[in-house]
Amino acid sequence: MTSSLDPLLSVFGKPSGYADYAAIAAFSFAWGTYLLKGKAWDRPDPYHHVWFEKPQIADTAAGDRVKETRDISKKLEDTNDKIVIFWGSQSGTAEGFANRLGRECHSRFRLNALVADLSDYDMETLQHIKKEKLVVFVASTFGEGDPSDNTAGFLHWIRAAEVSLENLHYFAFGLGNSNYKYYNKVIDLIAQSLDALGAQRLMPVGRADDAKGATEEDFIAWKEEFFDYLSRTLGHQEYDVVYEPSLLVEQDTSLDLIDLHQGEPVVDNRGLVGSSAVKPLRIKDMRELFRPSADRNCLHAELDLTDFPEMNYKTGDHLIIWPSNPNAEVERILKQLGRLHEADVPILIKSLNGSKVKIPTPTTLSALLRYYLEICSPVSRETVAKLAQFAPTESCRLFLDGISRDRSRYSAFLATTHITVGRLLEVSTSSEPASWSSLPLSFLLDAFPMMKPRSYSISSSSVVSPRTPSITAVVTQAAVQNPTAGQITIPGLTTNYLLAHHVQDKNTYSLQGPGNTLEGRKVYAQIRKSKFKLPALSSQPIIMIAAGTGIAPFRGFIQERARMKQVGKACGKMLLYFGCRSPDEDYIYCEELAQLQAVLEDQLCIVTAFSRYKGKKIYTQDRILEDKDRMFGMLTEANANLYICGSATMAREVNNTISSIIKDGNAWTDEEIKTWYETKKKTRKFQEDVWG
């Protein structure tokens, strides 16, 4: 029998008296005490990190601990607001519209409006809202009829709800794109469901169409009808509109550099749903994909996750890039405002209406313009009209009033120039130079949205390159024709930011990042999970349809299937339809696809369509129609998974072609082909990743 003292006896020998036993006991106590370090004693202080946090973070956290009610009817009674404006937004546009509408309800009618995130309240409490209150829904539709993340829960509830909403009086406005099959589906479902539950719709549903570039103008037109209803039908008195800031911006030179947000991305908890944290990722490799003959750039960028072991991705996920604004645009605004000397002075931003301040504060004017505001986004006609009240000269005011007077005149102006807020301030005073020093900074914060990151499909396989996700991006350079200045280039923000990294142009963008955190060729980025995935079984046949950079996720798919075959797994048939302009210009990954073809042999078939080659225009849908027998067989007999990635216009044409092939092949009715598509989508046998 072995004693528990045997290990000690082997060290000390057999005890011969009380002194030996005492020594063994002392040693045992000391050893046990050491083993329990950090558990029974010397435990780390869980709040030790608080000593190193910025003061404003602690303040925010303390504020967040105040529990808000999720009963919207109670909230309206507590705040005495007459209107609640719910928003459902993915990119921030619908949220911006909702906030604008809320501010104008007060400035034009002295009506207090609560602007609310659809996910912040329990929607069953809608039934308790008093009938004298008004409810507005502003909701976007993205993808193929998908709701925004914060709308999904409400949509699920309202479609199954069994409550009476007969006291609910509502208005609805939707944001969508008619290039997509289910244009503005979300707002239509909301309105239909509300009507079915007895709610009273006070105006026809408004719909914006981004396909026509009319989102802003469509919202303005609907908003004017809404205000007309408040005035004429409901009898609310309308007042002269005077700018009422919702934020206070003031300098505070007592703040130290360590207290400030210098431009690092700040993401709330909702922004992290399905996403990793934002990290400064090193660009491991970046190369040009287009041939030298092309007049455009297409970049393949590989990012390195090595320094962040907690970050990982799966094939088909998205990589999110956080850009910065160009140096020239930042300096242009500072110069026009007469604030070049104040660029790095600390500023505090405070709410004047009790709403949450979403802009990081405290910060500096330089960080605000470079990293936190979309100063390169188009200036709306409505913003131009509001700017006129701060015009430094009479000629400036007349110019702004003139171009903003009606929709057609402003459209004509935009068609011949590249107008950002800085350029507008500059152009408006070109005939009579003057400073815009009287323009409140709060106006810029109210008029322009927060900087949003841009999403790119990952073009690598997590099986082949687990720590090196890559993206594929065409550098956009739109253009307008000016009668006197000739062609004016409109650069895409993020793609040109990436191009600056590629050519190491430190003059165009601030590549070193806030506080030099991006030195060493880094960008702020995060991984976002996607449902655009390969089938679980590698033996399942798949059809991939892409145009341009839409091939990005399919490069990852094919890489993964090739690796599966190399390790002895069965691979199903793969059919890739790829469209671009010309094999001599923009057939990206051509050589790499040929190498993968050699590995996969007859398991991979690539069909190309060139729209600008040898005088012919052949598109992806044309090749599919030529190949209709194989397409029909793979989708019906082989039950292949179908994937489409690229522009919404391309996806629509491809869908129409496939519908006709399946419908004619089965002699189906319109209802039967619709059911077939819906079943494919519900079972994840048909997936799309489209944009534009």
Question: Quick one: three-class SS letters along 599-624?
Answer: HHHHHEEEEEEECCECCECCCHHHHH
pLDDT of residue 25: 62
Note the residue count of the chain.
692
Residue 587, domain member (yes or no):
yes
| Helices 421-428 and 394-403, axial angle in degrees (round to 10) | 130
Residue entry with tokens 């131009």: 384
Phi-psi domain of 668 (left: phi exceeds 0; alpha: psi -120 through 50; beta: other) = beta
351-390 exposure pattern, b = at least 16 Cβ within 10 A, e = fewer? eeeeeebbbbbbbbbbbbbbbbbbbbeebbbbbbbbbbeb
Q: What is the CA radius of gyration of the chain?
A: 30
Joined together, the tokens standing for residue 28 give 């045992």
Query: Using CA atoms, how far apart are residues 223 and 85, in angstroms rounded to an integer?
Result: 13
Give domain status of residue 215, yes or no.
yes
- How far, in Å, CA of 654 to CA of 505, rounded? 40
Q: How many angstroms from the chain centroid is the CA of residue 97?
A: 16
Counting as low any pLDDT under 70, the low residues of the chain are 1-67, 269-272
- Looking up tokens 């946090």, which residue turns up? 53
Peptide bond into 362 cis (omega under 30): yes
Q: What is the pLDDT of residue 27?
A: 59
Which CATH number covers residue 142? 3.40.50.360
Asked whether 349 and 373 are in contact (CB, 8 A), the reply is: no
* Residue finishing a domain among 181, 206, 234: 234
> Does residue 643 form part of some domain?
yes
The C-alpha angle 242, 243, 249, rounded to 5 degrees, equals 150
pLDDT tens-digit profile of 297-356?
Answer: 999 999 999 999 999 999 999 999 999 999 999 999 999 999 999 999 999 999 987 778
pLDDT at 14: 55
CA dist., res. 457 & res. 314, Å (int): 11
State the pLDDT at residue 535: 96
pTM, whole model, 2 decimals?
A: 0.85
* Cα–Cα nearest to 302, from 600, 505, 552: 552
Residue 602 sits in a domain whose CATH number is 3.40.50.80
How many domains are contained in the chain? 2
User: Which helix (H) or strand (E) is 284 found in, with range?
Assistant: strand 279-288
Q: Is residue 526 part of a domain?
A: no
Distance CA(245)–CA(134), nearest Å, equals 24
Tokens of 658: 């496939």
Judge whether 42 and 34 are in contact, CB under 8 Å: no
Which domain-ending residue is among 234, 255, 272?
234
CA distance 447 to 441: 10
What is the number of H-type helices and E-type strands within the chain? Answer: 22, 23
Question: How many angstroms separate the CA atoms of 162 and 228, rounded?
Answer: 33
Range of the domain at 589: 542-690
Question: How would you classify the pairing of strands 134-142 and 146-147?
Answer: antiparallel
In a domain, 424, yes or no: no
**CA 165, CA 158: separation in Å to the nearest integer?**
11
* pLDDT number for residue 26: 61
Q: Which amino acid makes up residue 565?
A: K
CA atoms within 13 A on the CB side of 509: 29
User: Which residues partner with 524 through β-bridges?
Assistant: 280, 322
Q: Give the DSSP letter of residue 70.
A: -
566 within a domain of the structure (yes/no): yes
Please measure the distance between the N-terminal and C-terminal CA atoms of the chain and give it in whole angstroms: 79
Which pair of structure tokens corresponds to residue 678? 């819906």
Q: Tell me if residue 77 falls in helix, strand or coil.
A: helix
Instruction: Locate 11 and state its tokens.
Output: 């060290």
| Cα 194 to the center of its chain, rounded Å | 28
In a domain, 159, yes or no: yes
Residues 6+ apart with CB under 8 A from 451: 322, 323, 325, 371, 372, 373, 374
Distance in angstroms (rounded) separating the CA atoms of residues 98 and 84:
10
CB-based contact 442:353 (threshold 8 Å): no
Report how far residue 499's alpha carbon sits from residue 638's, in angstroms, rounded to the nearest whole number.
43
Query: What element of type H or E holds 55?
Result: helix 55-64
Domain final residue, candidates 200, 217, 234:
234
User: What pLDDT digit, counting tens, does each position of 575-627 carry?
Assistant: 999 999 999 999 999 999 999 999 999 999 999 999 999 999 999 999 999 99
Q: Is residue 379 a part of any domain in this protein?
A: no
